[in-house]
Amino acid sequence: MVRYLPIFIALALMVYCIVDVAQTQGDVVRRAPRWLWLTVIVVVPIVGPICWLVLGRPTRNSGGSGGTTPPRYPDDDPDFLRRL
């Protein structure tokens, strides 16, 4: 069973990165299209997911609105609370 552990870890990492790329907003992520990231993750099993996690994954502050994000819940939105 222990000899199959690296295969399971590589497969789990690949699935996690594929889902992460699929949920990332925008067609271009860190100067490469999403389809290219997906191809690299699937074709190069260990190095591809690691490259996505280190080089491709967008940072939290890389939103297009200058760092301000809209409120996620109605309780956090002052305009919504004013209308109550």
Q: Mean pLDDT across the stretch 48-61?
A: 85
Arithmetic mean of pLDDT over the chain: 85
Specify the DSSP class assigned to residue 52: I
pLDDT tens, position by position, 23-50: 988 888 888 899 999 999 999 989 999 9
Instruction: Give the residues across from 28 on adjacent strands.
Output: 33
pLDDT tens, position by position, 64-79: 444 567 767 777 778 8
Q: DSSP readout, 44-59?
A: STTHHHHHIIIIISPP
Q: CA–CA separation, 33 vs 47, rounded Å? A: 18
Does residue 80 have a pLDDT over 90?
no
- Domain extents in the chain: 1-58
Name the 3-class secondary structure at 44.
coil
Q: CA–CA separation, 52 vs 32, rounded Å? A: 11
- Are 75 and 81 contacting, i.e. CB atoms less than 8 angstroms apart? yes
**The amino acid at 38:** L
